[in-house]
Amino acid sequence: MKLLLEYDGTEFAGFQQQAQGERTVQGVLEAALARIPGTRPKVTAAGRTDSGVHALAMPVHYDTEDTVPVDKVPLALNALLPPDVRVLEAEEVPPDWHARYSARWRRYLYRVQGRSQPTALDRHRVWWLPQPLDFSAIAAAAELLVGEHDFGAFANREKRATVRRLHQAHVEASGGELRLHFVGSGFVRGQVRSMVGTLVEVGLGRRPPEDVARLLAHPERSEGGATAPPQGLYFVAAGYSPWAEGAA
C-alpha cells in the first residue's frame, strides 16, 4: 500500500526510527498501522527527513492484508494518528513498487523570511534573517548547482558516494520571503540545507556567486557554507517517472 503523508516536523526527531526511542514519524505511523488487523507495520519512505523538517507529500509504502477499503484508509489512519501527521491519500501498488528505490526524482522547498523582526506565526516554518539578501546573486549561484556534480562540499557525515544530478535549482521572491526549489535524482545527507546555507552566504555578500563552481570542482565540506536550520525545509514530492527537463 502506498500512502502520501503530510507532517509538521517540529516535534519529531526526523522520519526514521531512532535507536534511543525518540519520537519519529515512522514510529507514530507504525504504531497506528499496528492497530489495524492484517497490516504489517513496517513502513519505508521516499526520503528520510531530519529533526524539525516538514513534508507536504511524502510517499511511503507498507505490506498489508487488511480489509479496509482503500478509499477509507486515510480516514482510518488519521483517526489513530497524532494531529501533526496526516495521511492525504492511499493507493494500492504492485508488490515490487518501492517508495524509495522506485523514485526517479525528489523535490524540496526551503523558505527564508527576510524582515526586521522575527516571526511569531512562522517561527517553526521558515529561517528568519533580518539582513537584506541579494536575490540576483543567489539566483546566479543557484544556476551553477544544476547538473551532475560531486556535492561533497554540501554533504554532512555522508558515507555514500556524493555524485548526484540536480535537475532544478529555482529561486523566487515574494512578499519578503525567499523560496528555493530543488529537484534532484537523489540528495546526499544534508545537501539541501548546506546548499541553502551557502546560497545565503552569497546573498549576504560573504562569497561571490562563482564560488559555487569552485565548491563543485573541489568538493571539500569544510569549504562549503553553514548548514541552514531545519525548520525552513520541506519535502515536497517524489516522482516515479523520469524527470522531464524544463518541467516546472
C-beta pairs of 198-202 under 8 Å, 24+ apart in sequence: 198/141, 198/153, 198/154, 198/224, 198/225, 199/138, 199/141, 199/142, 199/171, 199/225, 200/112, 200/127, 200/129, 200/133, 200/138, 200/225, 200/228, 201/225, 201/226, 202/134, 202/137, 202/138, 202/141
Q: Give the pLDDT band of residue 187 (cuts 50, 70, 90).
A: very high
pTM of the model: 0.96
- In Å, how far are 71, 126, 143, 215 from 210, measured between CA atoms? 50, 26, 10, 9
- Alpha-carbon distance 58 to 63, whole Å? 17
C-beta pairs of 241-248 under 8 Å, 24+ apart in sequence: 241/104, 242/104, 242/105, 243/104, 243/105, 243/167, 243/183, 243/185, 245/167, 247/168
Span(s) in the chain for CATH 3.30.70.580:
2-91
- The answer on pLDDT for 8 being more than 70 is yes
- The answer on pLDDT for 64 being more than 70 is yes
Percentage of the chain beyond pLDDT 70 is 99
CA atoms within 13 Å, Cβ hemisphere of 107: 17
The three grid cell numbers given for residue 25, joined into one nine-digit string: 514519524
Distance of CA 12 to the CA centre of its chain: 14
pLDDT at 53: 98
The three grid cell numbers given for residue 188, joined into one nine-digit string: 546526499
Q: At 76, which amino acid appears?
A: A
Is domain 105-239 in CATH 3.30.465.10, yes or no? no
- The answer on pLDDT for 36 being more than 90 is yes
Catalytic: 122?
A: no
Could you give the dihedral angle defined by the CA atoms of residues 127, 52, 161 and 200, in that order, rounded to the nearest 10 degrees? 0
pLDDT at 41: 85
Render pLDDT for 67-119 as a digit per residue (tens, 0 to 9): 999 999 999 999 999 999 999 999 999 999 999 999 999 999 999 999 999 99
Per-residue 3-state assignment (H helix, E strand, C coil) for 120-143 = CCCCCCCEEECCCCCHHHHHHHHH
pLDDT at 176: 87
pLDDT at 142: 98
pLDDT at 248: 65
| Best CATH choice for the domain 2-91 from the list 3.40.50.10490, 3.30.70.580, 3.40.190.10, 3.20.10.10 | 3.30.70.580
Q: At 133, which amino acid appears?
A: L
Catalytic residue among 8, 50, 66, 71: 50
The three grid cell numbers given for residue 63, joined into one nine-digit string: 505490506
Span(s) in the chain for CATH 3.30.70.660:
105-239
